[in-house]
Structure 1
Amino acid sequence: MGTLALLQVFVCAAGAHLLSGGLDRPAPVPPAATAAPAPVQVAVATAGPVLAPGGGGPVPGKGSLAGRLGRAMKDPALGGDVGGVVVDAASGEVLFGARADAAITPASTTKVATAVAALTSLGPDAKLATRVVLAKSGMIVLVGGGDPTLAGPKARADGYPRRASLATLAARTARALRASGVTSVRLGYDDSLFSGPRTAPGWKPGYIPEGSVAPVTALMIDEGREHPGRSARQADPSRSAAAAFASLLARDGVKVGRSPARAKAPAGAREIARVASPPVYELVEHMLTESDNDLAEALAHQIAIKEGRPAGFTGGARATEAVLRDLGVGRGVSLNDGSGLSTRNRISPMALARMVALAASPGRPRLRAAISGLPVAGFTGTLGGRYDKDPTKPAAGVVRAKTGTLNGVNTLTGLARTADGRVVSFAFMADDVQDPQGAVRALDRLAALVATCGCP
């Protein structure tokens, strides 16, 4: 198999989005009013589809894997608290384990747990709505639905997933108001869908406003950023979103008197406009590929609502754990947030590998976005700049995995297709790391050893 074949194509089963070598994201879906271009025929050198559960090859020998991985896990760069496991994706058989049940800080591999729980609880096709309702004479209320991807007035319209737009919501609102002869309103905003603290237990003070995550609210634009892209976060994302909405209404011919103020939307208030997020499966794919903290926290809060718990960090954590337990993959999972920024989270390598194997199962099609969203080694997302040096090159294109990084923590979990064509799930975790760059290289080498195993 040629590992320098730079065009590896993977068909994402959940969303049918094409990922080709060198692209960080799937191509944006054309608008409904625009005819899709004719497909381009590309000569492809494949290493076998990573998403084919089980594959057709033989199961790797346990002794051979133990010999390969046991030595590599002793790399000093991984520090003194390391665990790892390899599981046959089709049968669930444990092929290798070293401290596989240890409680280890997962960092962003927590997002795998959030993804599996969100797809199970909310469903892959659910959408998050941002609405405007009539509160009383002369007042409308902007009601947050917990969609952090809502695009503000400065955001670009392209990209994947195709986000809902605050400008579209303002235009629809203005059109409805003008149709009723209304050209001046007072504006309130309601972000009460989420409750409790806006930061999670175990978050470091520096996460906000430097840009790791925004204060979690049910109403925000551009993930709470001051400017779209990677920038500092707003101290009050809800208020900032409402102010932007007021400006857009004025541009569309509706005057807003006074500054927007928090207000509870009355029960049964008449809705006059709404926009909806991309479906959950697309949100999950984006969350995993880009390791999107804001989206992970929003989804965890939504899981809490769906499962009948308080819509905060604690409710989200307990709801996620409960959903995973019902799926049979919750043992060894203790959460405090949905993104993995919390230093208090603990997940075992075995739990992560079981989640990945479950999501890859042909009997669980609703979970497939938890696989199609995983970065492809050497090509996409947080793995796009990795697997380009020996001895990790052979894993480029044949490993899909979620990374995790905090101070002192480096983790990796996902799927690999072995040299014999067998699909296995794995998790390698270290949370006593003194050499982060060395730890990343060591984790990538472990995944490469799994992928290149033609191990009888």
Structure 2
Amino acid sequence: MVPEVLRRQAGRWRNIPRAQRRTVRFVAASAVAGLVVATGAVAAAGPWDSGQRKAERERAAAAVRAGGERHAAGSPASGFSAAPPVLAALGAGRPPARQALAAALEPLLQDPALGSAHAASVIDVQTGDELYGTGQDAAYTPASTIKLATAAAALSALGPDHRIETTVVASGSGGIVLVGGGDPTLTALPAQGEGPRFASLRDLADATAKALRARGTSRTKLAYDTSRYSGPVLHPIGPNDNIAPVTALMVDEGRLDGSDKGPAERSADPAGDAARKFAELLHERGVEVDSDPAEARAEASAQRIAAVSSAPLSALVERALTNSDNDIAEALARQTALASGQPASFEGAAKAVTDRLGKLGLPAGRARIADGSGLDRTDQVPAALLSRILAGAADPAHPELRPVLTGLPVAGFTGTLRDRYASGDGKGVVRAKTGTLTGVNTLAGTVVDADGRLLAFTFMAGGTSDPDAAQRALDHLASTLTGCGCAG
């Protein structure tokens, strides 16, 4: 049954001229997603989705193009609390007619730029009805669009307000232990700018030094504990600039160049580097650390001395999706594993994410999840699953999933879509997660169509040879949805 507010809005919508509908559609889509432009933060944002990943280029000697899913500056503003009432006001128009939608999309899906195999899925968010599908139930390599699954699983398992702690505890030998909780956004950089407040190693050093001085201690031994995670720390694609070794303790994602997004040279020992930086910060605060920090396991009953907490999980999800942040995505997968009683490893995280999707009632039976970031080519996900995740994130029954929508990049404005959709109906209206690996291009997100209907879509292409042309073809498909006016 359509709520009365939607029926009233439907009548008003039909009386609005088409030119004005486009303006209304832009505003509505912006509001749904917590559009960063509205809060003045867009100028700092930007995408990095232009071709082949550097890591894969280094592995494939025959590759001739540079680039990859390169991340952008700026952080999305959280729209979690505001999103549900805005979503409730959408869907007033009639949904596209299936035949009309097929007539609009199928010629575009024949574009040779989409490679040797492709899939498409379009869902009416209000009803959950599938409006169009081709190959939608077959599993394809999703690349970074798998982050939608990772994000939904983490939010479901932990809730949007969950925070990841990094702690300092007393050791039995009279020293202290820096215990990693799995927060890749823990930063050693001085506080600057606005946006989500990430946990600071400097704040942790302040609190630790104060606590030690209160005990009459100005000298200590320092160890560090990474035992919260298990399994190999290296991603299966090996050392590369797109992801640091996956460990429960790191600062600034193990970046060595001071950047906060995109490819960067990474530390080979992010946990050890974090502990050594912590020792430096204690020294600056009048506490001397004897010898180099050593890895050790804190006792379960150890007394807590100090702690800092990450930004809420909702903010981590938004950052991971907007900037296609691989380090945060892998952390989200492992936090899901910990919440599910699974080992916090690649294997345990993959099982936990898959199981959680099933508990949400999503069609995850044909999915094969190998990592949380999408860097692993053995990931295999149906287009229909990604579209269902997006539609589920708008479901009033699951408000905890809303950051999956608020974190989506805005076409032409933010994140990995900032430099795409320079013109056309899709700009500012398409919100979508991008995915790019060599020979793989994907796009999954939401649009408000010309009749005011909120649609979730997924387009997947494999065997592509020109990543730029493939991206343009995917963008054209999404833009076509916004201007379809295909209501039956």
Q: In 2, distance between residues paired with 1:314 and 1:383? A: 31
Q: 1:143 to 1:149 in 2, by over 3 A?
A: same
Query: Which of 128, 131, 151 is the equivalent residue of 1:95?
Result: 131
Q: 1:53 to 1:320 in 2, by over 3 A?
A: farther
Question: Which residue of 1 is the match for residue 63 of structure 2?
Answer: none
Question: Which residue of 2 is the match for residue 316 of structure 1?
Answer: 349
- TM-score, scaled to structure 1: 0.89
Check conservation: 1:289, 1:373, Cα contact below 8 A: yes
Q: 1:335 to 1:276 in 2, by over 3 A?
A: same
Offset from partner CA, 1:258-296 (integer Å, 9 cap, x none): 000001001110000000000101110111001100000
What's the Cα RMSD here?
Answer: 2.3
Q: Map 1:252-271 to 2 at 5 A.
A: 252-271=285-304
CA-CA distance at 1:156 after TM superposition: 4.7
Question: Which residue of 2 is the match for residue 37 of structure 1?
Answer: none
Question: Which residue of 2 is the match for residue 35 of structure 1?
Answer: none
Query: Which of 190, 213, 226 is the equivalent residue of 2:256?
Result: 226
Question: Which residue of 2 is the match for residue 46 of structure 1?
Answer: none
Q: In 2, distance between residues paired with 1:318 and 1:155? A: 37
* Further displaced range: 362-371 or 107-116: 362-371
Q: In 1, distance between residues paired with 2:426 and 2:41? A: 14
Q: Map 1:49-448 to 2 at 5 A.
A: 51=87, 55-152=91-188, 154-201=189-236, 203=237, 205=238, 208-209=239-240, 211-229=241-259, 230=262, 231-329=264-362, 330-389=364-423, 393-448=424-479
Q: In 2, distance between residues paired with 1:321 and 1:173? A: 39
Q: Map 1:23-62 to 2 at 5 A.
A: 23=43, 24=45, 25=74, 51=87, 55-62=91-98
Check conservation: 2:178, 2:225, Cα contact below 8 A: yes
CA-CA distance at 1:362 after TM superposition: 1.9
CA-CA distance at 1:423 after TM superposition: 0.5
Q: Secondary structure at the match of 1:64?
A: helix
Check conservation: 1:128, 1:277, Cα contact below 8 A: yes
Q: Which amino acid aligns with 2:300?
A: A
Q: In 1, distance between residues paired with 2:383 and 2:89? A: 20
Q: In 2, distance between residues paired with 1:432 and 1:255? A: 57
CA-CA distance at 1:333 after TM superposition: 1.8
| Runs of 5+ consecutive residues of structure 1 not aligned to the other structure | 30-48
Q: In 1, distance between residues paired with 2:352 and 2:324? A: 21
CA-CA distance at 1:378 after TM superposition: 1.1
CA-CA distance at 1:136 after TM superposition: 2.2
Check conservation: 1:108, 1:403, Cα contact below 8 A: yes
Question: Which residue of 2 is the match for residue 38 of structure 1?
Answer: none
Check conservation: 1:189, 1:242, Cα contact below 8 A: yes
Q: 1:285 to 1:272 in 2, by over 3 A?
A: same
Q: 1:189 to 1:150 in 2, by over 3 A?
A: same
CA-CA distance at 1:395 after TM superposition: 1.1
* Further displaced range: 11-20 or 254-263: 11-20
Q: In 1, distance between residues paired with 2:387 and 2:33? A: 20
CA-CA distance at 1:20 after TM superposition: 5.4
Check conservation: 1:13, 1:368, Cα contact below 8 A: no
Check conservation: 1:15, 1:282, Cα contact below 8 A: no
Q: Secondary structure at the match of 1:298?
A: helix
Check conservation: 1:418, 1:454, Cα contact below 8 A: yes
Q: In 1, distance between residues paired with 2:190 and 2:396? A: 38
Q: 1:286 to 1:51 in 2, by over 3 A?
A: farther
Q: Which amino acid aligns with 1:355?
A: I
Q: Secondary structure at the match of 1:136?
A: coil
Q: In 1, distance between residues paired with 2:374 and 2:246? A: 14
Check conservation: 1:14, 1:369, Cα contact below 8 A: no
Offset from partner CA, 1:24-57 (integer Å, 9 cap, x none): 246779xxxxxxxxxxxxxxxxxxx984575100
CA-CA distance at 1:92 after TM superposition: 1.2
Q: In 1, distance between residues paired with 2:475 and 2:451? A: 20
Query: Which of 413, 437, 451 is the equivalent residue of 2:482?
Result: 451
**Higher helix proportion (structure 1 or 2):** 2
Q: In 2, distance between residues paired with 1:372 and 1:19? A: 13
Check conservation: 2:35, 2:410, Cα contact below 8 A: no
Question: Which residue of 1 is the match for residue 56 of structure 2?
Answer: none
Check conservation: 1:105, 1:345, Cα contact below 8 A: yes
Check conservation: 2:76, 2:407, Cα contact below 8 A: no
Offset from partner CA, 1:172-227 (integer Å, 9 cap, x none): 000000000000000000011000011234x2x3xx24x20000000000011113
Check conservation: 2:170, 2:303, Cα contact below 8 A: yes
| Runs of 5+ consecutive residues of structure 2 not aligned to the other structure | 1-18, 46-73, 79-84
